[in-house]
Amino acid sequence: MKNLPLHVKIVIGLVLGIVWAFISSALGWNTFTITWIDPFGVIFIRLLKFIAVPLVLFSIISGVSGLSDVSKLGRLGGKTLGAYLITTVTAVGLGLLLVNLVKPGDFVEKDQRVKNRISFELWLEGEGMGLPQDGQSYLSDPQYQHLITDAQKANQLSEKDKAEVAKRMASAQKQKEVSPLQFIVDMVPENVVLSISNNGLMLQVIFFSIFFGITLVMVPEEKKKPVVDFIQSINEVFLKMVNMVMNAAPFFVFALLAGVIAKMADTPAEVFEIFLGLGSYSLTLVAGLFFLVFAFYPLVLKIFVPKL
């Protein structure tokens, strides 16, 4: 087992998580799973989150500060932006094409689709947004009354959750009224410490990192060397953190998957329904990724990097 590649161990963790989900739901151990196993999955997500921002920060600063000529950054940035736009548009277009051809949502059992639809309509109703765009309303259909009651209980939010939802809705409404150039304004941080402490402000972290790196390049060598050495050393520390977390990923993935399913399904039949829907989605996703990795990206490399 020790000699197996990490990705194989992670796949084994995923499979064991699925097996445990069936066993847990069949024997009524979901409470135990949620109480004693799921917390390790939450810890895994938190570890990745707190490493992500400083890793991006110090990696970009280290990379940019290693340039000998700032003018190279402009050309590199233009090429990077162009490649980003081309690959993003292709990926989005391919995703829309595949999802409309395969329609993975149709593989989900009808009752589960109805439950999801009712939850969606309750959310629209709570936000005062009226009927869905197809004009149909499951909330007014008497045959779904028991599902509506269950969904209403499940959708009850705490006061804290309601305040967070209201805050996000107000922010979304405000975005509709701002200048088209507001996204550029939002990239520039008012307080870099707050930007670093808020995972939702990654663009501001990236802007600061690039700006800091460019400034380092302009500073005399004897002045910048201690700073560059310090940043590179910190970057190595965070890379080591990532390595340590990923070495434990097989167990964490097992705990994460087992806990998530335990919260969603109480019987083996419900677990099977979840995996039927997720399986069709996953296969569609893998098909798209397969095309990008083995067809589109090699073509891009052949066109733009002929030496390879």
Q: Cβ distance 267 to 66 under 8 Å?
A: no
Tell me the chain's radius of gyration from C-alpha atoms.
24
- Report which of residues 64 and 112 the model is more confident about: 64
247: Cβ contacts below 8 Å, ≥ 6 apart: 6
Q: Cβ distance 252 to 6 under 8 Å?
A: no
Interval 273-302 mean pLDDT: 86
pLDDT at 93: 93
Q: Does domain 6-58+71-304 have CATH number 3.10.290.10?
A: no
Q: CA 27, CA 20: separation in Å to the nearest integer?
A: 10
Average pLDDT of every residue of the chain:
81
| Token reading at 29 | 């151990």
Interval 184-207 mean pLDDT: 82
**Among candidate residues 48, 40, 38, the one with its CA nearest the CA of residue 199:** 48
Stated pTM of the model: 0.69
pLDDT at 39: 94
* Domain locations along the chain: 6-58+71-304
For residue 82, what pLDDT band results from cuts at 50, 70 and 90? confident
Residue 216, amino acid:
L
Q: CA 191, CA 207: separation in Å to the nearest integer?
A: 12
Ranges 198-202, 211-215, 257-261, 263-267: which has the least confidence: 198-202
Report how far Cα 129 is from the mean position of its chain's Cα atoms. 27
Tell me 256's DSSP state: H
- Report which of residues 173 and 225 the model is more confident about: 225
Q: Is the pLDDT of residue 107 over 80?
A: no
pLDDT (tens digit, 9 = 90+) per residue, 88-97?
899 999 999 9
pLDDT (tens digit, 9 = 90+) per residue, 50-77?
898 899 899 989 888 887 766 666 676 6
74: Cβ contacts below 8 Å, ≥ 6 apart: none
- Report which of residues 172 and 136 the model is more confident about: 136
Residue 186, amino acid:
D
Return the C-alpha torsion angle 74, 77, 83, 86, nearest 10. -90
| Token reading at 69 | 């000529």
Q: CA 65, CA 213: separation in Å to the nearest integer?
A: 5
pLDDT (tens digit, 9 = 90+) per residue, 228-268?
999 999 999 999 999 999 999 999 999 999 998 888 777 88
Interval 213-227 mean pLDDT: 88
Q: CA 57, CA 205: separation in Å to the nearest integer?
A: 6
Q: CA 73, CA 71: separation in Å to the nearest integer?
A: 5
Return the SS3 of 102: helix
Please name the residue that has the structure tokens 């004693």.
Answer: 36
Residue 135, amino acid:
G
The interaxial angle of helices 202-218 and 221-247, nearest 10 deg, is 140
Q: CA 76, CA 213: separation in Å to the nearest integer?
A: 14
Interval 216-225 mean pLDDT: 88
Specify which of 29-38, 60-69, 127-136, 257-266 reaches the highest per-range mean pLDDT: 29-38
- CA distances from residue 257 to 161, 186, 265, 271 in whole angstroms, order as listed: 24, 35, 12, 12
195-198, long-range: CB within 8 Å, 24+ apart, which pairs?
196/53, 196/54, 196/57
